[in-house]
Structure 1
Amino acid sequence: MEVVIDAYFDKLFEGMERDYLVSRHKRRQLVKYFSDVINSTSKAENLETSDVCERIVMSALRYHNITMSENSSVCLLGKFHNILYVAAKLCYDWNLSNNKIVIRLLNDIYYCEKTFERIFIGAIFGIRVTHFLSGWKSDFEDRDENIRALIYFLDHSIEGKLKYITGLSSIKYRFIDVPMESYGQILPVRVAIQHGASDILLIMLRYGASMEFDKSMPSPLENLLTRLNEFDIDQENKQIIPNNLLRCLRFLLRTIPIVYVMTPEHIANECGIVHVPIYEMYPNLIERKFVPLERSGRVPPELCHLCRCCIRKRLFDNWALPHGIRALHIPESLQNYLDLLQD
């Protein structure tokens, strides 16, 4: 079977136009064809569908690597690269559990693109907006499927303990924190916050998305606080603050003991104080109860919240977020609290 599938790939792609797989429709046609092959081959040869899917994905990776090796290890893009997204859709559709194969697929995508933004953008923005932002249409059906696919690859990246070096930096980023190149090299969690995508933000935070941002620029939380601070509270205006922004704030506050914000540059230069508690910069947000006193710096954080932050840090260090929480011998209510599902 392996030889037949490899030979098919060689023959099929030899006569295919270079830009054939640029179209989402063409990629989905190929996915459907291979899905039919998986079903028919597994029945004809009495094999598990997962075994046939593995073989097809491996052939796709083989084809990609051969074309690169023939071009001095430089990807030829076009059909030679887009076959990886056909393989990614097959992995998700058939719930391929072979972690080594999925890791190899993610590594090949990163080697060529230096980002995983095509896996993230559909989950953050949905399938329509992504075409206008990056010219790429997601291979997944809708935003919900994009989110499920992101979770699928997040789980495999955690199992494989994947880390990647980006740009000139020596810092290694986990899969969930690899910067999005087309969006100014900012982290996916920042894009989710800026877009107000509270549902995907919660997923990212549960999986341990980093909140350790560049100290020389305002964090996404600070940007969000600035936006909230600009809303007029005059009752006559009756301006309603978007609920998605308030949800983003609530989720972020579950991950940090105290909210600190950057001081203005001229103050920082004079006194050397770079960060101050939020109540000193945005007291009205405390008064409006957007930020509870326990996160403001005026009163100490709750002991249970400090414990949550500490335990989550240990689980993160051991690649155990979020699923390792369910292995802890504690009541379900505490598990949900640790998993950021409740305040």
Structure 2
Amino acid sequence: MEYIFDCFFEDTFLKIKRSGLHDRHSRRDVIDHLNAVIGGCSDGQNVRPDEVARLAVLSAIKYHRENKQENGEICLMGKYHNILYIALRICWEWGVRDSAVVNVLLEEIYSCEKTFERLFLGALFGPNAPHFIAGWRSDFRDQDENTRALVYFIDHATTLGLEFQVTVNKFEPSKMIKFIDVPIESCGKSSPLRVALQATAPDLLMILLRYGADPAPPDGGSCPVIALLDKLMEKERRYTYQLVSCLQILLRNITTIEMPYKPHVYLERKNRFMEKYGVLFLDNILNMDQVFGVMPLKHLCRCRIRDLLRENSQLPGAIETLRIPRKLQRYIDLMEE
């Protein structure tokens, strides 16, 4: 069957201009034809559809690599790169189960783009917004579908602990960052979690944190909690539900709020913090213990367990293996408070 897909890509792409897959509808046409081939091969060979789709994805990756190698390891972009997004869609539509193949596809995309904004932006802002942000349209029909696809790829990346070498600051050496934390190029190289906070998207924030996004993103930006507190103060006590929800979700993942104003002594920092954010305590937005004291042991244990599971790329799946009551599992998984 590999030969069938090799021929499909060779014949199909030979007829397409280099910019022929720039728009979403053209990519959709190729995907529809490829889906028909996958379905036919599955029925004719009596092989699981996801296994046939896996072979199609590998063939697409092979086509991309061969053209890249012929061009001195420089991606030709255009249709030669968009084939990877056709493969991305095939992975999602047919539910390819092989995490290794899914991760190879993600690595191939990153090797050319150094970002995954085409996967994340549609989930963050909807399928049309990326056209105005980065000049392309999402390959998914709507924001909900894009979000479900994002969860699919995050899950596969987390399964094998997929990491990428990222240069956050040109004055610092590059470092290995997990797929879920790779900065989004067109959003000021901010991590997906930080962009979700900026967009005030609590649902997506919850997804990112549950699947192991770092609550202190390794993108070189400011402290996310302090940034949220500043946004709340701008509301002059007319807080929006989404903004408060973002803060509450984020606070479930950290043991304490680190006060700014270093290197001043503790008392000076406390006074400045109270002067600026004191109203948030009066309105029960903030908990005194999470800033100036010690949170309950239950909360501290949750944070520690999540830190360990995050470091080992085991969120959220490994939570179910913990020999504790279901209610506590849901608490650790951020589903209950």
**Secondary structure of the equivalent of 2:21?**
helix
Partner of 2:176: 172
**Mapping for residues 86-101 of structure 1, pairs under 5 Å:** 86-101=86-101
Q: Relative to 1, partners in 2 of residues 1:333 and 1:129: Cα closer, same or farther, differing over 3 Å?
A: same
- Within 5 A, what are the aligned runs for 1:274-285? 276=269, 279=274, 281-285=276-280
Return the alpha-carbon distance in structure 1 between the equivalents of residues 289 and 79 of structure 2. 54
1:334 to 321, 324, 328: 328
More displaced stretch, 100-109 vs 278-287: 278-287
Q: What amino acid is the match of 2:247?
A: L
Residue 231 (structure 1) aligned with residue 226 (structure 2): no
Change (3 A) 1:133 1:39: same
Indicate the residue corresponding to 1:80 in structure 2.
80
- Matches of 1:177 and 1:46, distance apart in 2: 39
| 1:182 is aligned to 2:167 | no
State the alpha-carbon separation in 1 of the partners of residues 211 and 223 from structure 2: 19
User: Retained in 1: the 8 A contact 2:216–2:224?
Assistant: no
Query: Which string of whole-angstrom CA distances, capped at 9 and with x for unpartnered residues, describes residues 33-68 of structure 1?
Result: 111111122112222212221121111111100000
Could you say which residue in structure 2 is the equivalent of 1:242? 240
1:216–1:197 distance in 2 versus 1, CA, 3 Å: closer
Distance 1:293 1:47, change over 3 A: same
Aligned partner of 2:323: which letter? H
The reply on whether 1:323 has 2:317 as its aligned counterpart is yes
- Name the CA distance, whole Å, in 2 between partners of 1:216 and 1:62: 35
Match of 1:291 in 2: 286
Q: Does 1:303 align with 2:297?
A: yes
Q: Secondary structure, in 3 states, of the residue corresponding to 2:26?
A: helix
Matched length:
330
Distance in 2 of aligned mates of 1:7 and 1:21 = 18
Q: 2: distance between equivalents of 1:182 and 1:216?
A: 16
**1:182 maps to amino acid:** S
Match for 1:289: what amino acid?
Answer: N
In structure 2, C-alpha distance between the alignment counterparts of 1:57 and 1:214, rounded to whole Å: 31
- 8 Å contact kept, 1:31–1:90: yes
Deviation at 1:171, TM superposition (A): 1.4
1:200 to 198, 201, 204: 204
d(CA) in 2 for partners of 1:72, 1:209? 35
Counterpart for residue 110 of structure 1: 110
1:260/1:276 contact within 8 Å kept: no
Partner of residue 37, structure 2: 37
Change (3 A) 1:303 1:272: closer
Letter in 1 for 2:253: T
Aligned equivalent of 1:255, options 233, 240, 253: 253
1:141 aligned residue:
141
Partner of residue 67, structure 1: 67
Report the TM-score when normalising by structure 1. 0.91
What do residues 61-88 of structure 1 show as CA deviations (whole Å, max 9, x unaligned)?
1110000000010000000001101000
Secondary structure at the residue paired with 1:31? helix
Q: Could you say if the C-alpha distance between residues 149 and 214 of structure 1 is closer, same or farther in structure 2, counting changes exceeding 3 Å?
A: closer
- 8 Å CA contact 1:127–1:138 kept in 2: the answer is yes
Moved over 6 A (4+): none
Counterpart CA distance in 1 for 2:14 and 2:306 is 50
CA distance in 2, matches of 1:125, 1:26: 23
Contact between 1:279 and 1:296, CA under 8 Å: does it hold in 2? no
Matched, 1:53 2:47: no
Give the Å deviation of 1:279: 4.2
Shift of 1:280: 6.2
Code of the residue aligned with 2:245 in structure 1: it is R
With 41-50 and 151-160 compared, the bigger mean Cα shift is at 41-50
CA distance in 1, matches of 2:38, 2:269: 59
CA 215–100 in structure 1, closer or farther in 2 if over 3 Å, else same: closer
Letter of the 2:133 counterpart: L
Q: Please say if residues 154 and 176 of structure 1, whose CA atoms lie closer than 8 Å, have aligned partners that are also in contact.
A: yes
Q: Which amino acid aligns with 2:287?
A: P
Q: Is the 8 A contact 2:181 2:213 kept in 1?
A: yes
Per mean C-alpha deviation after superposition, the further-off stretch among 168-177 and 70-79 is 168-177
Amino acid of the residue matched to residue 236 of structure 2? D
Partners of 1:83 and 1:248 lie apart in 2 by 36
Alignment RMSD (CA, Å) = 1.9
Change (3 A) 1:213 1:158: closer
Contact map agreement 1:75 1:81 (CA 8 A) in 2: yes
Contiguous gaps of at least 5 residues in structure 2: none
The answer to whether the 8 Å contact 2:212/2:313 transfers is: no
Percent identity over the alignment? 39
1:118-142 CA distances to partner (integer Å, 9 max, x unpaired)? 1111111111212111112111121
